[in-house]
């Protein structure tokens, strides 16, 4: 397969920036990831403007949907994260408006943001993902600990950026972790905690033409890759190349690509993966269908390692925007 960097340069050579028309960069929004989305959107907007694109910011939390129609955009770049932007709702609205947009369509977006649906789908394809159980206020906490083993990860089923996530090492702490996650989502998941290397692998393209980018290894302080360490800490290290065995990296890339295709993702995405220290087995955690584009974000880092700079990445993604995507 032709290296992705070559495909990008070939595609961009054929892009007439004027033909892209008036472009809306959707950013901010109403989710718990609003702050990060504003940072992503700012980066995307500046990149498009640097390429001569007539790009304009649009924040759905501050402007109404009727305002979106009045803007008469020719296409939009979705830099929204989490609910109401990455979950299929905005994609459905844009489909109704027949307005081309970046990234995955309605179904893939809705599936990927729902961790339970994602895991069930991946399991049907025999793709490795940690064991899990759905929680409620009356759950048998001792049985949950017995089934999944300690430590256990507790998290909302439809949030990203580690919002509401807890690592529980004592059964007695499970109810508190559940209550914290339940404040953000009516559905709460308990997940087997895989101890080992934390990796992420971006995927770009559609269907059979999709391909993985270089894998990134994440080394967070005290192995705690939480909201702060993801976006605001300079102590978290991102290694690309990872320094891991080449065959293991290939295994992770193949797994991430299969996960992306199973969900029906398009345009771009990023699979988060853990490597079990004891077995060397990679496990899928989740798929992000509107990955971050901030200064700490990982897709731009992997793209750069593959030979594609940030602004070219953004313009390429925009050029692939479509309806029924």
Catalytic residues: 33, 161, 231, 270, 272, 286, 288, 292
Residue 144: CB atoms within 10 Å: 21
Distance CA 108, CA 48 (A): 26
| All residues at 6 or more sequence positions from 315 whose CB lies less than 8 Å from its CB, including other chains | 12, 15, 17, 47, 48, 51, 53
Sign of CA dihedral 7, 265, 113, 247: negative
Residue 24: CB atoms within 10 Å: 22
Considering only CA atoms, which of 221, 218, 231 is closest in space to residue 294? 231
The values of phi and psi at residue 136, to 5°, are: -145, 175
Cβ–Cβ < 8 Å for 187, 134: yes
Sign of CA dihedral 247, 248, 251, 252: negative
Cβ–Cβ < 8 Å for 255, 271: yes
CA distances from 167 to 174, 177, 181, 189 (A): 9, 8, 12, 12
The DSSP-derived string for 234-279 is SS-EEESS--S-HHHHHHHHHHHHHHHHHHT--SEEEEEEEEETTT
Cβ–Cβ < 8 Å for 199, 156: no
Tokens of 26: 């959707």
């Amino acid at each position: 397969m032709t290296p992705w960097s070559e495909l990008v340069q070939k595609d961009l050579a054929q892009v007439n920036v004027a033909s892209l028309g008036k472009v809306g960069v959707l950013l901010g929004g109403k989710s718990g990831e609003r702050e990060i989305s504003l940072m992503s959107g700012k980066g995307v907007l500046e990149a498009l403007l640097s390429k001569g694109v007539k790009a304009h910011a649009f924040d759905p939390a501050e402007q109404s949907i009727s305002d979106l129609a009045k803007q008469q955009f020719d296409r939009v770049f979705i830099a929204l994260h989490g609910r109401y932007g990455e979950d299929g709702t905005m994609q459905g609205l844009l489909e109704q408006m027949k307005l081309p947009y970046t990234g995955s369509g309605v179904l893939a977006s809705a599936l990927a943001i729902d961790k339970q649906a994602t895991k069930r789908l991946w399991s049907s394809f025999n793709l490795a993902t940690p064991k899990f159980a759905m929680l409620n206020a009356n759950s048998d906490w001792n049985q949950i600990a017995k089934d999944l083993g300690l430590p256990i990860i507790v998290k909302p089923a439809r949030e990203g950026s580690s919002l509401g996530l807890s690592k529980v090492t004592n059964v007695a702490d499970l109810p508190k972790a559940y209550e914290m996650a339940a404040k953000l989502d009516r559905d709460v998941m308990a997940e087997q905690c895989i101890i080992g290397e934390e990796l992420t692998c971006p995927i770009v393209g559609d269907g059979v033409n999709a391909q993985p980018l270089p894998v990134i290894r994440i080394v967070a302080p005290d192995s705690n890759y939480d909201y702060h360490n993801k976006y605001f800490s300079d102590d978290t290290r991102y290694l690309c190349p990872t320094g891991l065995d080449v065959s293991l990296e290939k295994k992770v890339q193949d797994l991430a690509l299969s996960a992306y295709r199973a969900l029906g993702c398009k345009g771009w995405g990023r699979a988060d993966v853990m490597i079990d220290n004891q077995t060397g087995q990679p496990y899928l955690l989740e798929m992000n269908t509107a990955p971050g584009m901030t200064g700490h974000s990982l897709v731009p880092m992997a793209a750069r390692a593959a030979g594609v700079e940030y602004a070219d990445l953004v313009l390429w993604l925009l050029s692939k925007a479509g309806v029924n995507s």
